Amino acid sequence: MKKYFAIVMIFMLTVTLNIAQSQKEKAVQKKVNDLISQMTLEEKIGQMTQVDYDAIKANIKDIGKYFIGSILCGGNSEPDDITPAGWANLYDKFQNVALKTRLRIPIIWGIDAVHGHNNVDGATIFPHNIGLGASRNPKLVEQVAAVTSAEMRGTGVQWDFAPCVAVSRNEKWGRSYESYSENPELVKILGAAFVKGMQGNDLSDKTSSLACVKHFLGDGGTTNGKDQGNTEVDEATLRKIHLPGYISAIKAGAKSIMPSYSSWNGVKMHGNKYLLTDVLKGELGFKGFLVSDWAAIDQLDKDYKTAIEKSINAGLDMAMIPNGQGQKNNYIEFITLLKELVNEGKVPVSRIDDAVRRILTVKFETGVFDNPLTEKSLTPLVGSKANREIARDAVRQSLVLLKNENNLLPLSKNLKRIHVTGKSADDIGNQCGGWTISWQGKSGNVISGGTTILQAIKNTVSNSTQVTTSKDGSGAEGADVCIVAVGELPYAEMIGDRQDLTLSKEDADAIQKAKSSGVPVVVLLLSGRAMIIEPELNKSNAFIACWLPGTEGQGVADVLFGDFKPVGKLPISWPKNMNQIPINIGDANYDPLFPYGFGLTY
What pLDDT shows up at residue 482? 99
**Residue 459 and residue 325 share a domain:** no
Rounded to two decimals, the pTM is: 0.96
- Per-residue pLDDT tens over the stretch 440-454: 999 999 999 999 999
- Per-residue pLDDT tens over the stretch 38-94: 999 999 999 999 999 999 999 999 999 999 999 999 989 999 999 999 999 999 999
**Residue 440 and residue 366 share a domain:** no
Domain limit, last residue, from 347, 381, 415: 381
What pLDDT shows up at residue 84? 98
Positions marked active-site: 293, 493
**Residue 125 DSSP one-character state:** B
Beta-bridge partner residues of 418? 467, 481
**Residue 139 and residue 43 share a domain:** yes
Q: Tell me, rounded to whole angstroms, the distance of Cα 250 from its chain centroid.
A: 17
What pLDDT shows up at residue 3? 60
- The domain that holds 300 is classified in CATH as 3.20.20.300
- Residue 232 backbone dihedrals phi, psi, to 5 degrees: -105, 85
Residue 11 inside a domain? The answer is no
* Count of other CB atoms within 10 angstroms of residue 35: 20
**Residue 562 and residue 461 share a domain:** yes
- How many domains, in total, are found in the chain? 2
What pLDDT shows up at residue 26? 86
Residue 597 inside a domain? The answer is no
Exposed, middle or buried: residue 283 (CB in 10 Å: 0-12, 13-18, 19+)? exposed
Q: Are 450 and 387 in contact (CB under 8 A)?
A: no
**Residue 341 and residue 289 share a domain:** yes
Residue 30 inside a domain? The answer is no
Residue 23 inside a domain? The answer is no
Residue 268 inside a domain? The answer is yes
Beta-bridge partner residues of 543? 403, 523
Domain limit, last residue, from 381, 412, 440: 381
By residue count, the chain amounts to 602
- Per-residue pLDDT tens over the stretch 528-552: 999 999 999 999 999 999 999 999 9
To the nearest whole number, what is the mean pLDDT of the chain? 96
**Residue 58 and residue 110 share a domain:** yes
What pLDDT shows up at residue 323? 82
Bond prior to 566 in cis (omega within 30° of 0): no
% of the chain at pLDDT higher than 70: 96
Residue 598 inside a domain? The answer is no
d(CA 544, CA 556): 10
Cα dihedral: 181, 186, 190, 192 (round 10): 120
d(CA 210, CA 229): 28
Nearest by Cα to 215 from 251, 186, 237, 187:
187
- Per-residue pLDDT tens over the stretch 124-180: 999 999 999 999 999 999 999 999 999 999 999 999 999 999 999 999 999 999 999
d(CA 311, CA 259): 11
Could you tell me which residues come within 8 angstroms of residue 545 by beta carbon, excluding any fewer than 6 positions away?
A: 134, 399, 400, 402, 525, 527, 530, 568, 570
Confidence of residue 15 (pLDDT cuts 50, 70, 90): low
The string of DSSP codes covering 335-396 is HHHHHHHHHTTSS-HHHHHHHHHHHHHHHHHHTTTT--S--GGGGGGTT-HHHHHHHHHHHH
Residue range 306-323: average pLDDT? 97
**Residue 337 and residue 285 share a domain:** yes
**Residue 229 and residue 87 share a domain:** yes
pLDDT greater than 90 at residue 187? yes
Domain limit, last residue, from 353, 381, 409: 381
d(CA 18, CA 27): 14
Confidence of residue 23 (pLDDT cuts 50, 70, 90): confident
% of the chain at pLDDT higher than 90: 94
pLDDT greater than 60 at residue 28? yes
Q: Are 56 and 322 in contact (CB under 8 A)?
A: no
- Per-residue pLDDT tens over the stretch 375-432: 999 999 999 999 999 999 999 999 999 999 999 999 999 999 999 999 999 999 999 9
**Residue 170 and residue 84 share a domain:** yes
**Residue 235 and residue 156 share a domain:** yes
**Residue 466 and residue 368 share a domain:** no
- The domain that holds 420 is classified in CATH as 3.40.50.1700
- Residue 475 backbone dihedrals phi, psi, to 5 degrees: 90, 10
What pLDDT shows up at residue 16? 57
**Residue 437 and residue 300 share a domain:** no
Range of the domain at 195: 39-381
d(CA 580, CA 594): 12
Confidence of residue 24 (pLDDT cuts 50, 70, 90): confident
Residue 21 inside a domain? The answer is no
Confidence of residue 4 (pLDDT cuts 50, 70, 90): low
* Whole-number CA gyration radius for the chain: 25
Residue 479 inside a domain? The answer is yes
